[in-house]
Amino acid sequence: MPPCLFLLIFDMPELKDIKRMLFEQGYITDDSVAMSVFLSLQLNKPLLIEGPAGVGKTEIAKVMANALQTDLIRLQCYEGLDATHALYEWNYQRQLLHLKMVEHNQQPVEEKEKTIFSDSFLMKRPLLQAITHHKKPVLLIDEIDRSDEEFESFLLEVLSDWQITVPEIGTIKATHIPQVILTSNRTRELSEALRRRCLYLYIDYPDFEKEWTIVKNKIPGIDTKLAEQITGFMQQLRIIKLEKTPGIAETLDWAAALSALHIDHLDKNIIEQTLGVVLKDWKDTRQVQLSLSELMEKTGVYPKL
């Protein structure tokens, strides 16, 4: 019996189960992450995850949905996102077409109105979708820091009441309260009120050991020495002040690329040719190219043979 089914029977997972679940889903992590995920499940509190880009914040929600064998509903925030985009919208065009079609029916007007304001004309946006889902979903509110402050306060209301009012239909109460995960890149400070409602987790760039394990796990065919060199190089790279510090995603891309090219060790040429996988800013690229020898020495990448 797979562990997840086991969990369904015995309701809430234990702390060690969470660790195992995360690991089995290919998410290598430390105890603080497991603890936060565990407590957020147990206490039924939203989990606010902050950290630099590319350290696997969004991934936690995906892994969680996978582990709980439920659906992931995602709300991507952006500047100008408003309630209609997050809650629901009526399908105006369809309503209009429907009215045209039944124009010559002898139905009373009330009847017609009832039809066009029914479920089939309602376009559910992520928040409404999440609270009307047939089973407890994981609701990922991604990059909440990009949305406006007004939306943040609106979200607070939904997160505390778990009901949404549609004037034409009435109040829709949550069938299941979703497991909420919010992520933020810290481009703006979130309000104290929102923080209060959530458990807080900060994920930083991984240390050498952790990153190395991730690379080994995610790219199975990779040469051990290459994995070591890549990780070492990336660790050094993050120490330099760059415009865009590369995350784990970049490390994995790079490792996958080099592995596909059947390369078993790094040298200056290869790094220069493939630097574009890791650095996405021309200033950074230039800076790294200039200090490449020094970087490689620090990493110990120079092939001794």
DSSP code string of 183-207: EE-SSSPPPHHHHHHSEEEE-----
Under the criterion CB under 8 A, does residue 50 sit at the interface with other proteins? Answer: yes
Residue in 6, 8, 10, 31 binding other proteins, rule: CB under 8 A: 31
In angstroms, what is the minimal distance from the CB of 50 to other proteins? Answer: 6
How many other CB atoms sit within 10 Å of the CB of residue 14?
Answer: 12
Residues in CB range of 22: below 8 A, 6 or more apart: 28, 29, 33, 34, 37, 63, 67
Give the pairing type, strands 179-184 and 170-173. Answer: unpaired
> Do the Cβ atoms of 205 and 267 come closer than 8 Å?
no
Residues 216-235 that bind other proteins (CB under 8 A): none
Member of 202, 213, 238, 257 binding other proteins (CB under 8 A): 202
Binding segment (CB under 8 A) for other proteins, from list 61-69, 151-159, 180-188, 291-299: 180-188
4, 23, 24, 45: which one contacts other proteins (CB under 8 A)? 45
Please state the closest distance from residue 274 (CB atom) to other proteins, in A. Answer: 28
Residue 189 within binding range of other proteins, rule CB under 8 A: yes
272 vs 281 by CB, closer to other proteins: 281
* Contact map string, positions 87 to 116, toward other proteins, x by CB under 8 A: ---x-x--xx--x---------x---x--x
Rounded to 10 degrees, the C-alpha dihedral 236/249/27/136 comes to: 140
Residue 199 burial by CB count (10 A; 0-12/13-18/19+): exposed, middle or buried? middle
When asked if residue 32 is in the footprint of other proteins (CB under 8 A), the reply is: yes
**Among 93, 82, 95, residue whose Cα is nearest residue 127:** 82
Residues forming contacts to other proteins in the complex (CB under 8 A) are 15, 31-32, 35-36, 38-39, 42-43, 45, 50, 80, 90, 92, 95-96, 99, 109, 113, 116, 186-189, 192, 195-196, 198-202
